[in-house]
Amino acid sequence: DTAVSQTPKYLVTQMGNDKSIKCEQNLGHDTMYWYKQDSKKFLKIMFSYNNKELIINETVPNRFSPKSPDKAHLNLHINSLELGDSAVYFCAVTGTSGSDEQFFGPGTRLTVL
Amino acid sequence: QKEVEQNSGPLSVPEGAIASLNCTYSDRGSQSFFWYRQYSGKSPELIMSIYSNGDKEDGRFTAQLNKASQYVSLLIRDSQPSDSATYLCAVGPMDSSYKLIFGSGTRLLVRP
């Protein structure tokens, strides 16, 4: 069983479109994250949810909107996609309660044409 | 601006050698420190975490933390070609128990 899964794995779309990326975890832990990794491999946090509540919201354009329908899911919706949004987006989950070790999903490679 | 700095490399070592990867951080109050390994096209994989000054060993990996000098290092003994990857240092700042700040990674090449 995969602890953290993401769909889709690859996403190719045109500028201006709206798209969503989904993340699911079966670890039963409370805190989930979205990270963006650019072409230079720099990994930067975007959002964090704890028990369906937004706790970290970094300086991210408001075209990006996370949604957590339940503790096991954290989705990322992106409106009006731009070329600069092309990157790999990783979902992550904090490990055991009280630990800040984070475990990453397989990533979604987004290409905006 | 909290920062985590790593030499981008590549660091090239022969098979069987010790690879030494270094990381410095700017937030003196940081409490938690992690090393992730990332193969090309894959997601970061946690390999070591360290919270106290000193050394922590796990198999061929040793993490070293020196809070006074604000650096953390990773030693890989008996390096194997399969260790070739990018190693990301991550630091948990004092003002957030959830947020990790990542360095840009050091690319390690182990020559057969």
B49 at interface of A, judged by CB pairs closer than 8 A: yes
Asked whether the beta carbons of B33 and B49 are under 8 A apart, the reply is: yes
Query: What is the band of A29 on the pLDDT scale with cuts at 50, 70, 90?
Result: confident
pLDDT, residue A55, reads 83
In this predicted structure, the answer to whether residue A1 has a pLDDT above a threshold of 70 is no
A36-94 pLDDT, tens per residue? 999 888 899 999 888 778 888 887 889 999 999 988 999 999 999 999 999 999 999 98
pLDDT at A100: 78
Residue with tokens 């700017």: B26
Give A97's contacts in chain B (Cβ within 8 Å): none
- pLDDT value for A50: 84
Task: Identify whether the C-beta of residue B70 lies closer than 8 Å to the C-beta of residue B25.
Answer: yes
Burial of A14 (0-12, 13-18, 19+ CB in 10 A): exposed
Cis ω before A69 (30° cut-off from 0): no
Chain B residues with beta carbon closer than 8 angstroms to that of A36:
none
Q: What confidence category does residue A3 fall into, taking pLDDT thresholds of 50, 70 and 90?
A: confident
Give the pLDDT of residue A2: 67
Q: Mean pLDDT per 10-residue run, chain B (112 residues)?
A: 88 97 94 95 95 96 97 98 97 77 95 95
Give the C-alpha separation, A108 to A48, whole Å.
17
pLDDT at residue B75, as a whole number: 98
Residue of chain B whose Cα is closest to the Cα of A10 = B41
* Chain A residue with the nearest C-alpha to that of B104: A42
